[in-house]
Amino acid sequence: MQGKKIIVGISGGIAAYKSAEMVRLLVKEGCSVQAVMTASAMSFVAPLTFSTLTGRPVYHDLFAERQASTVHIDLARWPDLVIVAPATANFIAKVAHGLADDLLSTVLLAVRLEECPIILAPAMNTAMFHNWAVKENLALLRRRGYILADPASGELACGEVGEGRMLEPEQLLALIVRTFGPGDYAGETVLVTAGPTREALDPVRYLSNHSSGRMGYALARAASQRGARVILISGPTSLEPPPDVEFYPVTTAREMFALALKFFPDVDIVIKAAAVADYRPELQAEQKIKKGEALELKLVRNPDILEELGKRKEKQFLVGFAAETAELLTHAREKMERKNLDLVVANDVTREGAGFNTETNIVQLLYRDGGVEEFPLMSKLELAHQLLDRIKVCRRG
């Protein structure tokens, strides 16, 4: 998505506030985004919101002073993709029938559909969505090659529940990514584990760690954006799973192990970003443990999931993380050998901006031939993409 030029059109619906988040996600992906608003959109969200997020002035006026009279043509020639979100019933009707009475509708008329995909994300009340005029306009647009982000069912701003709710920003982002092509991971199945595991002591307490799941979810998102089928097995986190991934929530290491074993024969790549508890209490008390002078716990070993997968490895490419607080490379190399890994992401979790519960990470990659590559501080999503790039090169041999 890096460097892609995208026009985000916003027409006048309450879902305009969600477009701001979609724009933020696109900018985070490295896209250049130009917002174009209708007059009614500006009654819902101020242009300042979009100009701040995109770093560009918002266009909304076909005849603005100090603006070339061909602004609609200049805009239409610029993008790699146009998305209108929300697309109201009125705006859809205008596009379907070639009306051009404001800047956004004129730009849409001037974009060459055969060179630049146009996505429309309808958002409206259920009755309006099922109105014959709207249905036929949408069918006409679909036939002509416009991409429709079919709205979901759910609670609407008017208080009704039904079809017409604009897709969530993450879902729109996924659709945009898919529209650009199948991606370099198309046809691959990637199994990602993420988050912590929890090992219960009694019905109210557990042993766990600080993993937020961010690293693993970023990997799942990146692989899915690049066209992979992604199976995400996650311990408890507060994150929303990325759209389009097969999501399996688990609690304990043994649950994660069972699912990883089940999917392993069908996957091409395993990336184990999860922070799995190495130990669990030998006994789990049925009732809440009561306070006493001291409490002795006996812990027993959990299965080492990655080590077990390493023993069963056939075609699969195995990537492990090594979260360390000292002697990073020594421990990481030992894990690579013992677990039969193809690549290890060595993570010094004591460094600021790295490791647990941060938006960023700083890692070193250990290759099978003894090579080490150091990465600077970067967002977990950017790291996920870099890691996928390296995996591709390693697998090509």
Interface residue list for ligand PMT (CB under 6 A): 193, 195, 211-215, 253, 272-276, 278, 302, 304-306, 320-323, 335, 347, 349, 355-357
CA distances from 85 to 73, 149, 173, 199, 378 (A): 21, 9, 11, 44, 30
Q: Break the chain down into helix, strand, coil percent, rounded to 5.
A: 35, 25, 40
Give the tokens for residue 64: 């603005």
CB 315 → ligand PMT: shortest distance, Å? 19
Considering beta carbons, is residue 247 or 356 the nearer one to ligand PMT?
356
Phi-psi region of 148 (alpha: psi -120 to 50; beta: other; left: phi over 0): beta
Considering beta carbons, is residue 246 or 278 the nearer one to ligand PMT?
278
Considering beta carbons, is residue 351 or 392 the nearer one to ligand PMT?
351
CB 100 → ligand PMT: shortest distance, Å? 48
Reply yes or no on whether 394 is catalytic: no
Enumerate the β-bridge partners of residue 81. 6
**Taking Cα atoms as reference points, which of 144, 230, 136, 242 lies closest to residue 185?**
230
CB 290 → ligand PMT: shortest distance, Å? 30
Distance CA 365, CA 353 (A): 17
**Taking Cα atoms as reference points, which of 126, 131, 67 lies closest to residue 93?**
131
DSSP 169-206: HHHHHHHHHHHT-S-TTTT-EEEEEESB--EEEETTEE
Considering beta carbons, is residue 248 or 321 the nearer one to ligand PMT?
321
Considering beta carbons, is residue 6 or 318 the nearer one to ligand PMT?
318
CB 354 → ligand PMT: shortest distance, Å? 8
CA-derived radius of gyration, the chain: 25
CB 287 → ligand PMT: shortest distance, Å? 28
**Residues classed as catalytic:** 158
